[in-house]
Structure 1
Amino acid sequence: MVDEKRDITDPKALRALAHPLRWQLLDFLSREGSATATQCAQESGESVASCSYHLNMLAKYDYVVQAEGGKGREKPWRLARQTTRFTDVGLDTEGAVAANAASGAFLEYTLNQIRERHLAVTGAPAEWRNALGVDNTNDFLTVEEVIAFREEVRALMDRYRGRREDPAARPDGARSVNLFFSTTVAPDKS
């Protein structure tokens, strides 16, 4: 990877993420390490031309870069970095709107993926069905406690990150598992 992390504040770069297919492409590259537009089309069900266009848009804003190997139109792409973060905090109105559009596209893609995988798990082996699921709770925490909790969960999620780029580090039977974590707060009614 080029850089480990990147915080995005540029509205144009944020708007580049405001498309569910781009999130799907980023997710696929994260799982596979690298892929061509043709492989992305096979994964997404979109045309090669559409995937190529969206990969080039992601490259324009430094989310993906050309990977080693390939020739001509069959150039592989890879993520430019492991972690891309953004928030609307501290941004002007244009930036905040762009960050919210990017978040909306991410949530649309991710929640659809969760729904599809949840429905498809019925055909999985029993041990996978027992391991997977959805947990939910409503508790009362302070801002500091939420921040600490998120950091702890991120540390747990990061424990397995090295397996993405090093297939040899994956134990037998390991599969790509999406770990989606979200914290939200009820509106202040005071």
Structure 2
Amino acid sequence: MARPPQIRPEIGDERGLPVRRLRDPEHLRALAHPRRMEIIDLLIADGPMTASQCAARLGDSPASCSYHLRQLARFGFVEEAAGGQGRNRPWRWVPVGNQIESAGSPAERSAAEALGAVIEGRNIDRIRRYARHGATDPWREAGQTSDWAIRVTEEELVELGEAISALLIPLQRRTFDGDAPAGARLVDVLTYLMPRAGASGDQTDA
């Protein structure tokens, strides 16, 4: 059976990191599935895996994981790794970041919102898992959660985001390149800089 053609999103460079510009509805929908996100997380964390290995880890069927892997590969999110053949071929994550661009046609905005909802759900699950198990994690003294309410200008908010990115990009770069030092673990960093809806921009007395 002939394989479907690969449809690669545009890849640019964002401050030293390769980044896909995801705006086409077909590209956005390719990621907008919780199982596909879970598969990508597995491949990032534990390296190349076959569909059967992914299925065993996720409690899914090999046929289902094989289908999702093929769809991810079609759009360049994963690719076949060296070794194996047929159903035993391993797959690897393609180390490129994703930037969702939601401006555009109604179809593009709808697809971006659907993908955003999947990502939000995954992030909420990550927070809940950490809440359940963080107290017993050997790195519990290093792990941190916090929330802040700050009053800033729009320009300051942009600068804050850029400063956070400047700290994280070198660490992301070595994660992409596989150059992290011995003993390093994957750490989820969830950053939301959210202007509060309905809040006045005028400073008021406490």
Q: Give the TM-score category using the shorter length.
A: 0.7 to 0.9
User: Which residue in the other structure is 1:39 paired with?
Assistant: 53
TM-score, with normalisation over the residues of structure 1? 0.85
TM-score, with normalisation over the residues of structure 2? 0.79
Task: Classify the secondary structure of the residue corresponding to 2:109.
Answer: helix
Find out whether 1:18 has 2:23 as its counterpart.
no
Report how far residue 164 of structure 1 moved.
Answer: 4.9
User: Which residue in the other structure is 1:131 paired with?
Assistant: 142
- Report the AA paired with residue 187 of structure 2: V
Alignment of 1:129-168 (within 5 A): 129-161=140-172, 162-166=174-178
| 8 Å Cα contact 2:19/2:96 also seen in 1 | yes
| 8 Å Cα contact 2:55/2:62 also seen in 1 | yes
| 8 Å Cα contact 2:20/2:98 also seen in 1 | yes
User: Which residue in the other structure is 1:113 paired with?
Assistant: 126
| 8 Å Cα contact 1:30/1:164 also seen in 2 | no
User: Which residue in the other structure is 1:68 paired with?
Assistant: 82
Find out whether 1:177 has 2:173 as its counterpart.
no
Task: Classify the secondary structure of the residue corresponding to 1:7.
Answer: strand
Task: Classify the secondary structure of the residue corresponding to 1:159.
Answer: helix
User: Which residue in the other structure is 2:117 paired with?
Assistant: 104
Change (3 A) 1:71 1:58: same
Higher relative contact order (CA 8 A, sep 6+): 1
Task: Classify the secondary structure of the residue corresponding to 2:86.
Answer: coil
- Report the AA paired with residue 131 of structure 1: A
RMSD between aligned residues:
2.1
Deviates more, 1:10-19 or 1:71-80: 71-80
Distance 1:27 1:155 in 2: 23
Change (3 A) 1:155 1:123: same
Report how far residue 141 of structure 1 moved.
Answer: 2.5
Distance 1:31 1:153 in 2: 23
| 8 Å Cα contact 2:96/2:176 also seen in 1 | no
Task: Classify the secondary structure of the residue corresponding to 1:16.
Answer: helix
Unaligned runs of 5+ in 1: none
**Identical counterparts, % of pairs:** 33
After the TM superposition, which segments of 4 or more aligned residues of structure 1 sit over 3 Å from their partners? none
Change (3 A) 1:65 1:130: same
| 8 Å Cα contact 1:67/1:77 also seen in 2 | yes
User: Which residue in the other structure is 1:56 paired with?
Assistant: 70
Change (3 A) 1:51 1:8: same
Task: Classify the secondary structure of the residue corresponding to 2:117.
Answer: helix
Can you list the C-alpha shifts for 1:145-169, whole angstroms capped at 9, x where unaligned? 22222222122222223145426x4
Task: Classify the secondary structure of the residue corresponding to 2:96.
Answer: strand
Report how far residue 185 of structure 1 moved.
Answer: 1.9
Report how many residues are paired: 183
Change (3 A) 1:94 1:82: same
Unaligned runs of 5+ in 2: 1-10, 12-17, 201-206
Task: Classify the secondary structure of the residue corresponding to 2:165.
Answer: helix
